[in-house]
């Protein structure tokens, strides 16, 4: 999403948004949504704050609306406030951050460059406060510039562990071409990162 100016969230705006969403929920159905309705939904969400959003398949209902902080830790509490004020709407569930995906680790950058991250490896470096740095070994990002490499890493981490854990637990990441000898035996496939983090946080 394009960055917009920040707007202070208030209860009236939140209430008005959910009333509008309920009235238009049939038209927001992703199978029939029009570009005009996408623009309207985008405008309504941006009235609440500088948030990102997406519609995806739900966990327990057909559809999910995610109103996300867009990776900004300072906005996570605001998106939580918005979602906690949601009302029950048939076929819809709501989330205040992008949940982890059940996916095949394949995605596109700039809609043209396909990346498969299933063979990436990582090493977690844990701090005393329960946060982590992560070293990520990749072999297929050389064709991307620095900014697109960062986008790729963010997509993989966010999709694998979910936006909330990413924001709250991962302090820094570093792309490496190989791991130093001192990390021998500590590297894992990226596909087990979510379970690994869960175990380390228990």
Q: Number of helices (H) and strands (E), helices first, in the chain? A: 6, 9
Burial of 148 (0-12, 13-18, 19+ CB in 10 A): middle
What integer pLDDT is reported at residue 8 of this predicted model? 54
Phi first, then psi, for residue 48 (nearest 5°) are -85, -30
Q: Would you state the torsion angle of the CA atoms of residues 74, 79, 85, 88, taken in this order, to the nearest 10 degrees?
A: -160
Q: What is the mean pLDDT of each run of 10 residues along the chain (202 residues)?
A: 49 95 96 97 96 96 97 95 96 97 94 94 96 96 93 97 97 96 96 96 86
Instruction: Name the strand (E) or helix (H) holding 108.
Output: strand 106-109
Hey, which residues does 189 pair with through a beta bridge?
121
Q: Dump the DSSP string for 53-95.
A: EEEEE-SSSSEEEEEE-TT-GGGHHHHHHHHHT----TTEEEE
Q: Would you state the torsion angle of the CA atoms of residues 105, 55, 94, 130, taken in this order, to the nearest 10 degrees?
A: 30
Largest CA distance in the chain: 59
What integer pLDDT is reported at residue 9 of this predicted model? 63
Can you tell me the distance from the alpha carbon of 60 to that of 58, in angstroms, rounded to the nearest whole number? 6
Judge whether 18 and 87 are in contact, CB under 8 Å. Answer: yes
Q: pTM (2 decimals)?
A: 0.88
What integer pLDDT is reported at residue 1 of this predicted model? 36
What integer pLDDT is reported at residue 111 of this predicted model? 83
* Size of the chain in residues: 202
* DSSP letter assigned to residue 130: S
């Amino acid at each position: 999403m394009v960055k917009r100016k920040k707007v202070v969230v208030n209860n009236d705006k939140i209430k008005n948004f959910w009333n509008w969403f309920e009235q238009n929920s049939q038209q927001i159905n992703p199978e029939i949504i029009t570009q005009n309705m996408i623009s309207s939904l985008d405008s309504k969400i941006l009235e609440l704050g500088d948030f990102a959003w997406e519609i995806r398949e739900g966990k327990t209902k057909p559809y999910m609306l995610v109103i996300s902080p867009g990776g900004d830790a300072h906005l996570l509490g605001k998106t939580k406030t918005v979602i906690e004020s949601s009302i029950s709407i048939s076929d819809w569930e709501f989330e205040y951050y992008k949940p982890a995906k059940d996916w095949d680790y394949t995605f596109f950058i700039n809609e043209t460059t396909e990346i498969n991250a299933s063979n990436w490896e990582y090493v977690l470096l844990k701090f005393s406060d329960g946060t982590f740095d992560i070293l990520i070994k990749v072999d297929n990002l050389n064709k991307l510039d620095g900014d697109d490499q960062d986008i790729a890493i963010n997509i993989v981490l966010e999709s694998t562990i979910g936006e909330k854990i990413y924001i709250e637990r991962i302090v820094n990441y570093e792309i490496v071409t190989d791991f130093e000898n001192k990390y021998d035996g500590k590297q894992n496939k990226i596909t087990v990162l979510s379970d690994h983090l869960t175990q380390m946080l228990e």
